[in-house]
């Protein structure tokens, strides 16, 4: 899909970045002390902190990833919204206040407060670094993916641009400027999502959408010989994918010397038009037979009928009727098939009409229904993912440090509640953003992450520019939070406490700034290295790793009196190692990271949380019980002295 950079988008984005940098500069005086740098002096108002929580948490995966996933796979994208929000209940009810009471700068502090053990500090510091880096990769990849369509710059430019801006924000004013960036971004994100959703509902649904390419069908006169009723088309070649009875048949036709690919619908004896990207052995790819710039590749996303009617204009809809219309309609989704034709690779996108009632239940992306071929492994994966989302939120280091930016446990609680309301509202909106994109003819099937910005573009370039700038701000906010978390782990946990370097206030700030630069540069490198990785994939892993490594340590430190330092350190190490090993050996990783498509991976499931979280809990309990300090003698002495 070809995008032109909008000058307005560039102007708004530049203005936003400039404003953020000015704020950072203004606050840089406050970041002279360690507490000023790492936790904004602990003086952030709880309401501001709450919105900043939302700005910290709602990453590119939430805004772009979920809306995009709903746009192509329906309800399954919304499952992420539900899981991400449910995770805040763990954070609010179980973790928020006790963690605030125990810690000072980092969550390792909080755990260490009870044990005063270097092993615990080392394990927690490393886990913070690893989780932050894992979470940074998808953010950087997201930045690179967005920059091309939004500002017309190459992928690497996006990664470097975001990296440099974030390093400037964090290195100048640490958590203070990070907080304000997140506050502004969180506020803008919720407000403009509301604006877009109101516009979507006001516009209603049109079948077919306005200015939509009418995808043609050709009647087949004789299916055996593949003769068409329209003699102006000439059959060139047939492609059979899978076996003859269940597989799909694609047909290459030629008319006026233009070659097209069509999908055979055997039940109705018709050929359906597809969209193709042809990659010749050398030279640039052709989009529907023409160079990308010519714009021959169409935006998609439509309902083919509502209640059996093929021409409908609903007009303005309320939020419930909007969903009802989708449910009563047929959504045309798009499948993808790669064909090889002589020397060129042809990627075919073909229509999959799906009943609206199937779009609005789980199962199009995640296989859960055995009747539709879900294996036990598929279903375990699904449960495991939902567990990781539930338990991961309260274990993410960049979320946990926000508890230390407010003055008291009560304010930590209040700001979490503001966060839950803002984030809950946003996640409800994601369903409308996704379904809006799915039905209004603005979907780019080659880049689902662009769904929300493209939906905004259908309401005018001004809104597109604003949403694009918000999308970038989204990445800036989350990345700066992650880098603050990582620099806290290095300077406070590892250097100050583990290595016992006894850094002065000033030295801790300097160490934090240097770490911010180093981590920022590493993140840029990883972002470019993992360019082709699926963003939502990596975010799911970061949640699983965080839940496995940190959650048992946090929960048991707070609630189980027999927990020992060795138990905590062991559980962090086991959780971290087991989740990463399970991921590295999973089939998904074999297929999409190592590109080993025909190799069976040793681990049958791709979501590790269901194994690694219990393993980490068990480790903590077993090691703690074996390393109990005998308290009996002391008690006896105490009794004897009385």
Partner 1 sequence: MEHGPAAEWKKENSEGFKSRLGIIMFAAFTPIYLAFILITVINPRLMAINVGSLNLAIVYGFAIIIIAIILALIYNRICSKREKQDEDTEKVEGKIE
- Kindly list the residues in this chain that would bind partner 1 in the complex (CB under 8 A): 34, 75, 78-79, 81-82, 85-86, 88-90, 92-94, 97-98, 101-104, 109-110, 112-113, 320-321, 323-324, 327, 357-358, 360-363, 368-369, 371, 379, 382-383, 386, 390, 409-410, 413-414, 416-417, 420-421, 424, 427-428, 431, 502-505
Q: Which two tokens stand for residue 335?
A: 């499948």
Please report how close the Cβ of residue 537 comes to partner 1 at its closest, in angstroms: 20
Q: In this complex, which beta carbon is closest to partner 1, that of residue 216 or of residue 499?
A: 499
- Rounded CA separation 112/107 (Å): 9
Please report how close the Cβ of residue 199 comes to partner 1 at its closest, in angstroms: 21
- Altogether, the residues listed in the chain come to a count of 642
Q: In this complex, which beta carbon is closest to partner 1, that of residue 84 or of residue 297?
A: 84
Residue of 413, 549, 554, 423 whose CA lies nearest to 93: 413
Sheet with 248-255, side-by-side order of all strands: 227-228, 217-222, 270-273, 258-265, 248-255, 234-241
Q: In this complex, which beta carbon is closest to partner 1, that of residue 213 or of residue 379?
A: 379
C-alpha dist (Å) from residue 345 to 27, 54, 281, 285, 342: 54, 43, 8, 9, 8
Q: In this complex, which beta carbon is closest to partner 1, that of residue 212 or of residue 560?
A: 560
Tell me which residue has tokens 């975010």.
539
Q: In this complex, which beta carbon is closest to partner 1, that of residue 102 or of residue 159?
A: 102
Please report how close the Cβ of residue 39 comes to partner 1 at its closest, in angstroms: 12
- Contact (CB, 8 A) for 449 and 65: yes
Q: In this complex, which beta carbon is closest to partner 1, that of residue 327 or of residue 345?
A: 327
C-alpha dist (Å) from residue 147 to 144, 282, 368: 5, 26, 35
Please report how close the Cβ of residue 116 comes to partner 1 at its closest, in angstroms: 9
Q: Could you give the 3-state DSSP secondary structure of residue 345?
A: strand
Q: In this complex, which beta carbon is closest to partner 1, that of residue 119 or of residue 362?
A: 362
Residues β-bridged to residue 313? 206
Tell me which residue has tokens 């290195």.
171
Please report how close the Cβ of residue 604 comes to partner 1 at its closest, in angstroms: 16
Q: Which two tokens stand for residue 258?
A: 């233009």
Give the ranges where 440-504 is alpha helix by DSSP (H). Answer: 451-457, 461-488
Q: In this complex, which beta carbon is closest to partner 1, that of residue 466 or of residue 544?
A: 544
Q: In this complex, which beta carbon is closest to partner 1, that of residue 81 or of residue 274?
A: 81
Please report how close the Cβ of residue 467 comes to partner 1 at its closest, in angstroms: 23
Taking each helix axis as running N to C, give the angle between helix 565-584 and helix 118-151, from 0 to 180 degrees, rounded to the nearest 10.
Answer: 40
Please report how close the Cβ of residue 308 comes to partner 1 at its closest, in angstroms: 17
- Rounded CA separation 194/621 (Å): 46
Q: In this complex, which beta carbon is closest to partner 1, that of residue 92 or of residue 303?
A: 92
Please report how close the Cβ of residue 222 comes to partner 1 at its closest, in angstroms: 39
Taking each helix axis as running N to C, give the angle between helix 505-529 and helix 155-203, from 0 to 180 degrees, rounded to the nearest 10.
Answer: 80
Task: Report the 10 Å Cβ neighbour count for 290.
Answer: 12
Query: In terms of C-beta density within 10 A (0-12 exposed, 13-18 middle, 19 or more buried), how is residue 300 classed?
Result: buried
Please report how close the Cβ of residue 89 comes to partner 1 at its closest, in angstroms: 5
- Contact (CB, 8 A) for 470 and 185: yes
Please report how close the Cβ of residue 580 comes to partner 1 at its closest, in angstroms: 24
């Amino acid at each position: 899909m070809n995008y032109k950079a909008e000058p307005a988008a560039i102007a708004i984005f530049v203005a936003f970045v400039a404003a953020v940098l000015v704020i950072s500069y203004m606050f840089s005086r406050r970041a002279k002390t360690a507490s000023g740098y790492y936790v904004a002096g602990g003086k952030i108002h709880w309401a501001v902190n709450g919105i900043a929580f939302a700005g910290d948490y709602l990453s590119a995966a939430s805004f772009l990833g979920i809306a995009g996933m709903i746009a192509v796979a329906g309800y399954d994208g919304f499952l992420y919204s539900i899981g991400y929000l449910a995770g805040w209940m763990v954070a609010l009810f179980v973790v928020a206040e006790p963690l605030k009471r125990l810690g000072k700068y980092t969550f390792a502090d909080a755990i260490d407060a009870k044990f005063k053990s270097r092993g615990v500090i080392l394990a927690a510091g490393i886990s913070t670094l690893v989780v932050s880096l894992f979470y940074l990769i998808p953010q950087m990849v997201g930045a690179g993916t967005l920059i091309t369509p939004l500002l017309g710059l190459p992928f690497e430019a996006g990664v470097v641009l975001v990296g440099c801006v974030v390093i400037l924000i964090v290195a100048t004013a640490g958590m203070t400027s990070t907080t304000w960036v997140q506050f502004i971004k969180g506020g803008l994100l919720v407000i403009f999502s509301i604006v877009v959703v109101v516009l979507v509902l006001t516009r209603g649904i049109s079948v077919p959408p306005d200015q939509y390419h009418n995808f043609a069908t050709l009647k087949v006169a004789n299916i055996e010989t593949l003769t068409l009723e329209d003699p102006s088309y000439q059959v060139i070649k047939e492609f059979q994918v899978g076996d003859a009875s269940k597989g799909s048949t694609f047909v290459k036709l030629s008319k006026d010397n233009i070659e097209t690919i069509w999908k055979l619908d055997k039940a109705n004896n018709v050929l359906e038009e597809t969209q193709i990207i042809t990659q010749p052995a050398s030279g640039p790819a052709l989009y529907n037979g023409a160079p990308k710039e010519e714009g021959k590749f169409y935006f998609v996303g439509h309902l083919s009928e509502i209640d059996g009617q093929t021409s409908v204009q609903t007009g303005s809809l309320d939020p419930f009727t909007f969903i009802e219309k989708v449910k009563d309609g047929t959504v045309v989704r798009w499948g993808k098939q790669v064909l090889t034709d002589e020397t060129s690779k042809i990627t075919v996108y073909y229509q999959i009409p799906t009943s609206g009632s199937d779009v609005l239940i789980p199962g199009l992306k995640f296989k859960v229904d055995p009747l539709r071929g879900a294996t036990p492994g598929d279903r375990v994966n699904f449960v495991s993912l939902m567990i990781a989302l539930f338990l991961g939120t309260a274990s993410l280091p960049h979320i946990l440090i926000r508890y230390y930016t407010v003055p008291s446990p009560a304010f930590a609680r209040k700001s979490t509640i503001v966060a839950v309301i803002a984030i809950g509202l946003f996640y409800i909106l994601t369903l409308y953003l996704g379904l809006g994109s799915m039905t209004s003819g603005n979907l780019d099937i080659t880049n689902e992450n662009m769904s929300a910005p493209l939906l905004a573009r259908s309401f005018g370039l001004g809104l597109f520019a604003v949403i694009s700038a918000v999308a970038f701000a989204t990445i800036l906010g989350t990345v700066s939070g992650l880098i603050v978390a990582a620099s806290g782990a290095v300077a406070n946990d590892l250097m100050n406490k583990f290595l016992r370097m006894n850094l002065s206030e000033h030295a801790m700030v300097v160490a934090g700034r240097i770490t911010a630069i180093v981590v920022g540069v590493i993140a840029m490198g990883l972002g470019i290295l993992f360019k082709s990785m699926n963003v939502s994939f990596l975010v799911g892993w970061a949640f699983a790793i965080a839940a496995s490594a940190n959650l048992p340590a946090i929960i048991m430190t707070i609630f189980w009196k027999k927990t020992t330092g060795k138990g905590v350190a062991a559980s962090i190490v086991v959780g971290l190692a087991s989740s990463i090993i399970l991921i590295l050996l999973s089939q998904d990783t074999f297929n999409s990271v190592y590109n080993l498509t025909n190799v069976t991976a040793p681990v049958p499931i791709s979501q590790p949380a269901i194994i690694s979280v219990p393993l980490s809990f068990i480790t903590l309990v077993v090691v703690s019980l074996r390393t109990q300090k005998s308290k009996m003698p002391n008690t006896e002495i105490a009794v004897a002295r009385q």
